[in-house]
Amino acid sequence: MKPQNFPEQIIWYSLIGTYGFYVIGGVYILGPVIAWILLAYLGKKLWEQDDTTPVSEKIHIPMIIWLWVVGMLVQEVALIMGHLDFNFSTAELLKSSIGWAKGWALLSIFPLISCLPIRPQLLYRGACIVCFQTLLFVPIFILAYFLHWPNQLYVSPLQIVGGPSPDFFAFNFYEIDADNGQPRWRLFTPWAPALGFIGNIYFILALQEKDPKWRWSGIIGSIVMCLISVSRLGMLNLLVISSATWGLTNLSRPIYLILLGFLSTIGSIIGPSAMESFGIFWDKFNSARASSSSVRDSLKRIALERFKEAPIWGHGAVEKGPHLVQFMYIGSHSTFYGVLFIKGIVGFFAFVIPLSFSFLDLLIKGQKSAIAKAGLSIVLLLISYSFAENLEFLAYVFWPGLVMMGLGFKEQSLKQSIP
């Protein structure tokens, strides 16, 4: 697998060089840089495109991607209005806008980039290579804990470019869970739960790889990411997302509709017992890291209550929370609640509308297209993690999933059959 053009070269070497960029503290810089470079390249290609351009080389941007572009531009408008409403300085507005360019904007730029000639197979193989590298490096990271090496080796001087926190530029061997004092690993992500998220992204991509050796390297490596992150949601989603995608993309097949009807009948009989069992499971799921669950729930309640103070445009920025939430920022740990607090109802719908239409678009196309099916898995994962993470903070590292989602948008409903 070799890149065949400029966009593929950027995507390929950025992806397989993940650990190299991590060593120099450049992963956080890499995502936005390749996004804006390839966006400029896309603009150049569109400018040069005319009636003489061969049909096979013409760039077509699906309407759903334009919806993401409009939504993310509205996010910037909401940001500006929130800053004006709460009398933020011009310097603070500029800083926040730069943050938008490195965060929210990427949710639309990477799907836009997928309109360039980029083969999905390149993403599949690249993800598998990163997972294989993970299998090689993880023993060193684990050994560092047992040898009592310092958990953080250094913070890259590249942090001078600015970012949400030093964690985005730090080289960490491991971290210690405040709940139980046990180790967990984050690798090239800013915190351990984010590694579970990335592990799921790579798991989805690895499942599409055709070469058995690379596919199994990708699957095993991505599962290891989820396990060492000790992320409850990460491990749960490994099973749930794939199962949900399989069910949703077989809705058009009569045999599965018959099976669904049979299961519905069985479900009506065992429903009460199943609900009780699920309740027990959910209680155990939350109690596994009780203090973390409590803080997250409190942050969501505070964000929802404070949202009423500025319901249209939001507060413009996160605010440090009280002791109840261990002084964590209000507006963090959830995209849905965070965007309500920071950007109000305008920002909320600017995110929810393109996300919802993405689900519907890929649900339809996923009935026949394997690429759209993978894109649907990515959307389901984004929906799931929208309740637990601020997606805009992590877009720089899960960008391969955003490109995959965009490739799914390009598919035609009846173009190919699922193998």
Higher pLDDT, 27 or 330: 27
Give the pLDDT confidence score for residue 57 in this predicted structure. 78
Give the pLDDT confidence score for residue 200 in this predicted structure. 96
Please tell me the distance from the alpha carbon of residue 46 to that of residue 66, in angstroms, as a whole number.
15
Please tell me the distance from the alpha carbon of residue 396 to that of residue 391, in angstroms, as a whole number.
9
Instruction: Tell me the longest C-alpha to C-alpha distance in the chain.
Output: 65
Residue 185 has pLDDT above 90, yes or no: yes
Give the pLDDT confidence score for residue 222 in this predicted structure. 96
Give the pLDDT confidence score for residue 325 in this predicted structure. 74
Residue 333 has pLDDT above 90, yes or no: no
Q: Report yes or no on whether pTM surpasses 0.95.
A: no
Give DSSP secondary structure letters for 327-340. Answer: TPEET-S-HHHHHH
Point out the least confidently predicted range of 238-247, 286-295, 403-412: 286-295
Going by C-alpha positions, the residue among 209, 91, 163, 125 that lies closest to residue 395 is 163
For the chain, give every domain's residue range: 6-46+60-266+296-410
Contact 342, 335 (CB under 8 A): no
Q: Is the dihedral of CA 316, 321, 326, 327 positive or negative?
A: positive
What's the token pair of residue 352?
């929810």
Q: How do residues 219-237 score in pLDDT, each as one tens digit?
A: 999 999 999 999 889 999 9
Point out the least confidently predicted range of 148-162, 193-207, 305-319, 323-337: 323-337
Give the pLDDT confidence score for residue 286 in this predicted structure. 53
Cβ count within 10 A of residue 140 = 10
Cβ count within 10 A of residue 210 = 10
Higher pLDDT, 401 or 290: 401
Residue 282 has pLDDT above 50, yes or no: no
Give the pLDDT confidence score for residue 179 in this predicted structure. 74
Contact 343, 313 (CB under 8 A): yes
Going by C-alpha positions, the residue among 180, 186, 179 that lies closest to residue 144 is 186
Q: Which one-letter DSSP state was computed for residue 415? A: S
Please tell me the distance from the alpha carbon of residue 334 to that of residue 328, in angstroms, as a whole number.
12
Q: Is 182 helix (H, G, I), strand (E, B) or coil?
A: coil
Q: How do residues 87-96 score in pLDDT, each as one tens digit?
A: 899 999 999 9
What's the token pair of residue 18?
């993940």
Residue 44 has pLDDT above 70, yes or no: yes
Contact 207, 221 (CB under 8 A): no
Average pLDDT over residues 256-283: 58
Assign 3-state DSSP to the chain and report helix, strand, coil percentages, each to 5. Answer: 70, 5, 25
Q: How do residues 111-136 score in pLDDT, each as one tens digit?
A: 999 999 999 999 999 999 999 999 99
Give the pLDDT confidence score for residue 125 in this predicted structure. 96
Q: Percent of the chain scored above 90 by pLDDT?
A: 65
Residue 274 has pLDDT above 90, yes or no: no
Pick left, alpha or beta for residue 230 (phi over 0 → left; psi -120 to 50 → alpha; otherwise beta).
left
Average pLDDT over residues 264-268: 60
Average pLDDT over residues 255-278: 59
Average pLDDT over residues 27-37: 95
Cβ count within 10 A of residue 197 = 28
Higher pLDDT, 57 or 387: 387
The number of angstroms, rounded, from the C-alpha of 178 to the middle of its chain's C-alpha atoms is 25
Please tell me the distance from the alpha carbon of residue 73 to that of residue 297, in angstroms, as a whole number.
30
Average pLDDT over residues 382-399: 93
Going by C-alpha positions, the residue among 193, 171, 184 that lies closest to residue 145 is 184
